């Protein structure tokens, strides 16, 4: 709550003491001491509270995902009157009015709306598909669009590389003021599915002493990082909402079918197995969270950079055809689509633009398939990156791409309302009748501005990729430019088998030069790291 609570410590028979009020401090208070001689509190805030740092060259304030730093709040112990004023400030900071609005009971007799005004009131949308992608900012992908607040000079995956994402925001809604709540996969996937990052997780940023808890593998599943209020799917299951989960919080198990073959299948082997429809490679996964087990097909693969996103799109569309035959489709569908991440310029891996084009085509194909299905008249599709991975952006390193597709989505408009990850979750909850999980999604603004009550059932048509999906990075020895050769050699040392093991600053610089060349300097002004940037 970014606040210190003041209690009158006199436990009653239930062991409860009276809450007297709240004192606002900095971003994520984690430790406190009382300075008796000065009658004040000293509160250490893990992330502090700062508008950004001045750039050395110009003094301009800049902000990105890693520009947080600890701070110390020195607060005189307030009297009763001052405590009331401070409590009111905390409630404003926490958007208490929005939280109270979110908790209002449904009203009887309300007409169905695309996005109900209150949770529990009827919706015209029955099916929600939630696509979680990986690690891009707004400017990196959509910065070339004139109708949005973008910087084309920072766009490295423009329309030529991402035709489907550009077509989606042109046909439906362009969101140019939407932000990730997380900054990397460890907290990004928690925010994306639970609207919360736990105390343990926030305090682990200094070095991840137990694990890197992104939830996408056996070593990345740590219950201490899970919200005590549960995940979105827990609340859906508890209310009888039908669910299907494709790869989110699932560890990959990709292997050779022939057990005598040594090593793990390469990207080329996986790509050929998909393209040629062979069974040489076994594609499997295992849910990291037990509650997902019966809702997650083990033949889908979440995080695994050796697996093309086309395999994932095929899997989803194949099951969609089966649902069409049955005449039923889950009310909530989660889809992990990770190849936006790229494998840098490592040899024997596809180029960065091929990876992003793969993800773009897969996303477009999935949206097209869903929009041409019998379920489309009652469907809404949301897509967002789990985190921006400290990418550059001229507004904020947290700003990201977000997509909305539905017959009830507005058409051909730019929506600059400020939203973030919790807004997406809150909108999903509003549609499906799921009460907020915690104060963060309760205080979030539902995405009312993206929807209309006048549906347009025109389906989306996927566009072909302009980049060969099997366009491979050259071996370092074949690269003439010494900087690009050094980038390829460095990229080859990164571990892309696990989430976020590649040093993000180094990877971002490699991606910039791979797409823009070495003549255009890396945009230092749009991203500045702090000293504690570790391997994650």
Q: pLDDT tens track of the chain, all 536 residues?
A: 899 999 999 999 999 999 999 999 998 898 999 999 999 999 998 887 655 555 555 565 555 445 567 889 999 999 999 999 999 999 999 999 999 999 999 999 999 999 999 999 999 999 999 999 998 999 999 999 999 999 999 999 999 999 999 999 999 999 999 999 988 888 899 999 999 999 888 888 767 778 787 777 666 678 888 999 999 999 999 999 999 999 999 999 999 999 999 999 999 999 999 999 999 999 999 999 999 999 999 999 988 999 999 999 999 999 999 999 999 999 999 999 999 999 999 999 999 999 999 999 999 999 999 999 999 999 999 999 999 987 899 999 899 999 999 999 999 999 999 999 999 999 999 999 999 999 999 999 999 999 999 999 999 999 999 999 999 999 999 999 999 999 999 999 988 877 777 788 889 999 999 999 999 999 988 875 433 343 33
Q: What's the pLDDT score for residue 536?
A: 36
Which residues have a Cβ under 8 Å from the Cβ of 36 and sit 6 or more positions away? none
Q: What's the pLDDT score for residue 488?
A: 96
Contact 396, 418 (CB under 8 A): no
* H or E segment and range at residue 534: none
Q: What's the pLDDT score for residue 397?
A: 87
Judged on CB neighbours under 10 Å (0-12, 13-18, 19+), 75 is middle
**Cβ-based neighbour number of residue 376 at 10 Å:** 22
Q: Structure tokens of 111?
A: 């007409």
SS3 at position 241: coil
Q: How far does Cα 169 stand from its chain's mean position?
A: 18
Q: What's the pLDDT score for residue 219?
A: 62
Q: Structure tokens of 117?
A: 């005004």
Q: Distance (Å, rounded) from C-alpha 421 to C-alpha 195?
A: 8
Per DSSP bridges, beta strands 127-133 and 379-385 are: parallel
Q: Distance (Å, rounded) from C-alpha 239 to C-alpha 470?
A: 44
Contact 302, 285 (CB under 8 A): yes
Contact 343, 349 (CB under 8 A): yes
Q: Where are the beta strands (DSSP E) in 25-152?
A: 27-35, 40-48, 53-54, 61-62, 71-76, 127-133
SS (H, E, C) 434-500: CCCCCHHHHHCCCCHHHECCCCCCCCCCCCCCCCCCCCECCCHHHCCCHHHHHHHHHHCCCCCCCCC
Residue 462 to residues 163, 320, 348, Cα–Cα distance (Å)? 9, 16, 28
Q: Structure tokens of 198?
A: 């736990």
Contact 165, 142 (CB under 8 A): yes
Nearest CA to 405 out of 439, 359, 373 is that of: 373
**Cβ-based neighbour number of residue 45 at 10 Å:** 21
Q: Distance (Å, rounded) from C-alpha 88 to C-alpha 84?
A: 6
Nearest CA to 485 out of 346, 278, 280 is that of: 346
Domains and their CATH numbers in the chain: 3-94 (no CATH), 118-450 (3.40.720.10)
């Amino acid at each position: 709550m970014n606040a210190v609570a003041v209690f009158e410590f006199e436990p009653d028979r239930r062991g409860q003491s009276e809450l007297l009020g709240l004192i606002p401090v900095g971003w994520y208070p984690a430790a406190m001491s009382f300075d008796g001689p000065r009658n004040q509190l000293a509160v250490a805030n893990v992330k502090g509270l700062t508008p950004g740092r001045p750039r050395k060259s110009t003094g301009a304030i800049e902000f990105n995902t890693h520009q947080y730093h600890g701070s110390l709040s020195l607060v005189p112990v307030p009297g009763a009157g001052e405590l009331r004023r401070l409590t009111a400030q905390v409630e404003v900071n926490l958007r208490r009015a929005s939280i109270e609005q979110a908790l209002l009971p449904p009203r009887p007799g309300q007409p169905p709306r695309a996005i109900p005004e209150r949770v529990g009131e009827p919706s015209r949308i029955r099916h929600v598909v939630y696509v979680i992608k990986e690690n891009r900012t707004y400017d990196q992908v959509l910065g070339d669009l004139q109708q949005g607040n973008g910087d084309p000079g920072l766009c490295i995956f423009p329309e030529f590389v991402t035709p489907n994402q550009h077509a989606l925001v042109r046909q439906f809604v362009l969101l140019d003021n939407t932000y990730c709540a997380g900054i990397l996969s460890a907290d990004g996937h928690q925010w994306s599915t639970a609207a919360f990052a736990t105390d343990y997780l926030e305090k682990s940023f200094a070095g991840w002493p137990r694990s890197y808890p992104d939830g996408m593998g056996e070593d990345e599943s740590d219950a201490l990082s899970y919200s005590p209020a549960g995940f979105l799917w827990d609340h859906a299951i508890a209310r009888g909402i039908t669910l299907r989960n494709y790869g989110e919080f699932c560890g990959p198990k990709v292997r050779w079918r022939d057990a005598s073959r040594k090593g793990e299948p390469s990207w080329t082997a996986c790509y050929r197995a998909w393209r040629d429809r062979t069974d040489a490679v076994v594609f499997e996964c295992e849910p990291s969270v037990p509650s997902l087990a019966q809702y997650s097909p083990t033949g889908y693969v979440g995080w695994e950079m050796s697996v093309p996103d086309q395999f994932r799109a095929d899997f989803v569309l194949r099951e969609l055809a089966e649902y069409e035959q049955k005449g039923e489709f889950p009310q909530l569908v989660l889809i992990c689509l990770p190849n936006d991440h790229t494998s840098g310029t490592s040899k024997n891996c596809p180029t960065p633009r091929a990876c992003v084009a793969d993800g773009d085509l897969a996303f477009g194909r999935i949206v097209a398939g869903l929009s041409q299905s019998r379920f489309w008249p009652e469907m809404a599709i949301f897509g967002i990156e789990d985190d921006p991975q400290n990418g550059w952006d001229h507004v904020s390193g947290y700003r990201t791409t977000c997509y909305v597709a539905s017959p009830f989505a507005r058409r051909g408009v730019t929506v600059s309302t400020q939203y973030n990850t919790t807004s997406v979750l809150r909108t999903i909850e509003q549609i499906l009748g799921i009460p907020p999980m915690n104060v963060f999604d309760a205080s979030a603004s539902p995405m009312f501005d993206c929807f209309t009550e006048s549906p347009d059932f025109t389906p989306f048509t996927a566009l072909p990729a302009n980049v060969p999906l099997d366009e491979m990075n050259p071996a370092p020895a074949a690269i003439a430019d010494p900087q690009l050769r050094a980038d390829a050699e460095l990229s080859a040392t990164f571990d892309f088998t696990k989430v976020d093991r590649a040093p993000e600053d180094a990877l971002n610089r490699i991606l910039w030069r791979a797409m823009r060349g070495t003549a255009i300097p890396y945009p230092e002004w749009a991203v500045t790291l702090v000293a504690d940037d570790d391997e994650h």
